[in-house]
Amino acid sequence: MAKETAPRETPLHPDFASALSASIGEAAAKTVLEALRAPASVSIRLNPSKLQACPFPGAAPLEWNPWAYILGERPVFTLDPLFHAGCYYVQDTSAMLPLYLLRQLSGELSPGVRMLDLCAAPGGKTTDAAASLRSLLGDGFCLIANEVMRQRFGVLQDNVERWGDPCVGVVSRDPSAFGGSPLFDIILADVPCSGEGMFRKDPVAVKEWTPELVDFCAARSRRILRDIWPSLCEGGLLLYSTCTFNRKENDETVAWIASELGADVLRPSVPGAVLPTEYGYLMLPGLVPGEGQYAAVLRKRGGEARRGNPVLALNPVFPKPEGEGPVYEVDGPTALRYLHGDALVLGADAPLGPLRIAFHGQVLGPAKNLGKRCNNLYPKGKRIRMDVQ
């Protein structure tokens, strides 16, 4: 298993082991607790619009995502120009479960589908959704990625721009601010949670966990879902997910959605490594290579699929063109200097005026060649800060 983080050193809350056993059973809890002592894996998911083959030798393909690979070791992604070009996204394999479930329901999707990723930052599930919808529908979809926290919204916007799908826009709204009319055929609600599934990677989640936090997160999830429910069309799909194990935030919340908001639970098929629960599915460290993830799918009751236009209603920001002018290919060291924000001197064959710097055919960003020197126009906020020499 690839090493990504050191084994956990922060001690677990004294009530966590018993709470885990109550949620998933004693045998599964033992497996998870043993796995939390081991290093985490590292994986990527390709952008199929930009890259068709994994650039890392020895990577193993993933069963539940056609574009994902588990790497044998963790490279320095910051020093890979293809990462900055949006050719792949670094994402835990378990976090790919919700969009796997959506692809299993591809027969429910038709051109013109409108989807909301409600709690989208940093953008892993958004880009997975973009690849999934594009593979099924081509340009026939609209995906809106939302993040209410302004600092996290900037990260989401950068990742969506890097991914570069023209059918994906970003907004920043509280779930209560989407209005009372149906706008979406699909809503993905990867809600903020107690983070039990991320203990191996996030010592802060370990330190902050308490039974009271679980109760708080479960109540917050229900507030979020109640607020956004009017935005889902009748007959539309809700993908509900968390990165935690407990029943309060998972199955009990799904049962609440079904009974209080009005929905039917769907049961698409899943790989054998996924643990079915009463209403959804769990991925457990030790049974899968990644971290903890829960997901469930529900269909909103009712048959009237009237909807508004989310682009007109929400005014999302869509990716901007990556500069203008001809594409000029550079080698790896030059690409890193460009991404670092350094001044460039291009070859004599470089056209004068505005151009776009590219590496392996993938555009990195804009520049302006003046002949004796080249103005580096790569955005300052995106530049590599570490040494690239």
Active-site residue set: 243
- Looking at the DSSP bridge assignments, the partners of residue 65 are 62
Task: Say how many residues make up the chain.
Answer: 389
Cβ-proximal residues to 50 (8 Å cutoff; 6+ apart), any chain: 85, 86, 87, 164, 362
Q: Tokens representing 127? A: 């880009």
**Residue that the structure tokens 């996290």 belong to:** 152
Cα distance from N-terminal residue to C-terminal residue, the chain = 30
Give the up-direction half-sphere exposure of residue 112: CA atoms within 13 A in the CB hemisphere: 5
Residue among 130, 143, 132, 140 nearest 101 (CA): 132
Cα 205 off chain centre by:
19
AA identity, residue 276: P
Q: Tokens representing 103? A: 């692809």
Residue among 135, 184, 143, 137 nearest 166 (CA): 143
**Residue that the structure tokens 């302004």 belong to:** 150
Helix, coil or strand: residue 315: coil
Provide the pairing of β-strand 184-190 with 168-171: unpaired
- Which letter, b or e, does each residue of 323-361 get, where b requires 16 or more Cβ atoms within 10 Å of its Cβ? beeeebbbeeebbbbbbbbeebebeeebeeeebbbbbbe
AA identity, residue 228: I
